[in-house]
Amino acid sequence: MLRPRTLRARLGLVFGLTTTVAAAGFGALLLHQARRQLSIAIDEGLVPVATGLAQRVATEGPVVISGPNPELAPPSDAIAQLLGPDGRILATSSFIGNDRPLLRSAGADKVARLGRTVRHQTSIPKVAGGTAPVRVLALPVQVGGRPEVLVTGTSFDESLRLEEELEHALSLGLPIMAVAVALGGWLLTGAMFKPVRSMIEQADTISTREAGERLSISGGGAELRVLAARLNAMLDRIDIAAARERSFLDDASHEMRTPIAIVRGELELARSRAGDDEQRASLDSVLDEVERLERLAHNLLVLARSRSGSLTAGNTPVDLE
């Protein structure tokens, strides 16, 4: 699995995923609330219709439902059934069939026996085929002294259409919002890391020859300023250590040159007084090592001066022929 290499890319990925999950959760919650509010609105609209029909059914009988009734005729999409406690259809409006009750027998028994109001969603057959979703409200009613159940309903098509439109809008809007927020997070993290990039560029220009250079930060948060202060303190310690090293090399090269010169002089004097070839060969070998020490001391001195910036270049004529 490929992982983002930079911290900015990782933060951008986390920001995008978090935004996507949050947007999906928000969309799901919004759809749930929309469905709930639509159901509540439909139920509130059914209550006065059901109450009015129940009063008329109690006084006029089932003919209120099966006969002509402006409350159950177009343009109203309301439907009604009168059920017995066993779920048997006693009367039904003209727009639904007589073979399918809007409420099951168990529900009808509970409404008739316990006097409870029941709300739920079901479907009815369409004339052109298929089924149509309806929201129904069942309440108890007394007809001729007998407990029966009045079920009223209304089409749920408009609510489903509104839900589909909302789902379509969310399916288009939420991804766009998630991308926009993720892009904004990417740009924001870029602005946040701008002082860090500035510190990196300054760090690349700092060298031991220019020991006085330090990191400076403009803008950024307190954390970056603390980081810059800590890095500058570390550079101070490095400069102190480098200065001590240069001082040691300079002192060591100076101190070594005098005893080496004395040893060289003594060896050259001893060689001039050597009595046989074996002694002169031994002294020549020792003189070679002394010369190596002289070159080492000279090189240490040059190194110390070059690091301190005090090394001066000389002009020496060179024969190119």
Torsion of CA 237, 240, 242, 243, to 10 degrees: 170
Decide if pLDDT at 240 tops 50.
yes
* pLDDT category of residue 127 using cuts at 50, 70 and 90: very low
CA 112, 117, 123, 128 dihedral sign is positive
Looking at the whole model, is its pTM more than 0.95? no
Q: How far apart are CA 255 and CA 14, in angstroms?
A: 62
Instruction: Count CB neighbours of 34 within 10 A.
Output: 16
Q: Which percentage of the chain shows pLDDT scores above 70?
A: 81
Q: How far apart are CA 180 and CA 85, in angstroms?
A: 58
Helix (H) or strand (E) run with residue 299 in it: helix 277-308
Q: What type of residue sits at position 250? A: D
**Cis check: omega of the bond before 75, within 30 degrees of 0:** yes
Q: How far apart are CA 177 and CA 174, in angstroms?
A: 5
Greatest Cα pair distance in the chain:
155
Among 66-80, 187-201, 268-282, 286-300, the minimum mean pLDDT is found in: 66-80
Q: How far apart are CA 169 and CA 173, in angstroms?
A: 6
**Which domains are assigned to the chain?**
7-163 (3.30.450.20), 222-308 (1.10.287.130)
- C-alpha separations of 269 from 139, 265, 283, 320 in Å: 132, 6, 10, 38
